[in-house]
Structure 1
């Protein structure tokens, strides 16, 4: 088996950063804020690299869509083991209204243009938590999908995938080409070594615009307002079980 794998790598606000909402409630503050690769996408890249190490894959193409800084995210993917990158540049107001459907259309078009056998993306991004891109990409291509994967085994032109579902685990088999979304327990991403970081600087990144792919990035939905969650009220101590029961009765829970 010698697969060509396309991996989605989204640039998001770093998971350790406290998110702040803009004063006009139109979105969140991103200027001067640390960004990094979406953690689930790191897992997707790691899985693709492991497939290449097992001689299951022959080439890994990393894809990212967004402003110029997305090239830093792609360099991280290249340092982890991806062979080359594709950056679809979208910035300003267009980027702020970019939605999973737009990304799915880009992935689908690139999959055809690059003769891709397998698309791996993180199951969701930690900024918008949509969990839609893999499903819509599979629908646009007419490919089988295996979402929320916690284990992947390649066999005879197909994949056996263990999925994390509400009731536990589900094992399915999908034919290639297919789309897979990576869950948290699929693997633990490696740290890029200094030699690989240096090598990544020489690996090619192809720069495109949405129009080059024939994709219209006009928004399909409108964000009305973005608000911070309400401040949690302080708890109250009670002396004994009877006091707990009385409190619950007062709240109408008993």
Structure 2
């Protein structure tokens, strides 16, 4: 199994478990900059050198040896499940991807046909999003009509593979408190090239892919939608201290207990 979704600086100063839709583009670029003093020219997900990634065969032995021995500071970043699934909808379902096509080819036509979702023109965002939620729930609960996509599968599922295969996190911080969390990582590690977070741009690679959200977050979630979200993401709300009762509150309501996360996600 190894450590899928894991990135490591070439200097081995830090190890990061990527969680999609949780500031991963910005974090990857900061890691790249900390070694090279410049940002990767393009989407950091496309980089095949300058950063060790589990997806690159040559990087796997280095990452495995490092993580197994816990030689470097290891961290990840999490996000409110309500805003994350909403972001996934606007980016991956409504948006045109950077290759100029719809995400995953025939996925959107399938959703239009089977779930009655609309994505073109001045469509009803709330109605279409709630139908997308039914689809996301079907993929997560029954793996139908497809396996769940990494962009809406549970954060705890991404976080857990690192632990289950022998990794240990030193830090899990919140996307909603990004500067504070990322600074704590930088303070705990040594960088070849110092990083000033106040001067780092936000690399939101999905921005502009899809239509702008026309309503406040809470308007998209009625009682049934909240039930579906809780069914999919109950461990995310509990472990990472997000407020299930109030979709309008994107901020965490407590601190993450790393010991609890390791205990509950180790199996």
TM-score when normalising by structure 2: 0.27
Higher strand proportion: 1
TM-score when normalising by structure 1: 0.28
Structure number with greater Rg is: 1
Highest RCO, 1 vs 2 (Cα 8 Å, sep ≥ 6): 2
Higher helix proportion: 2
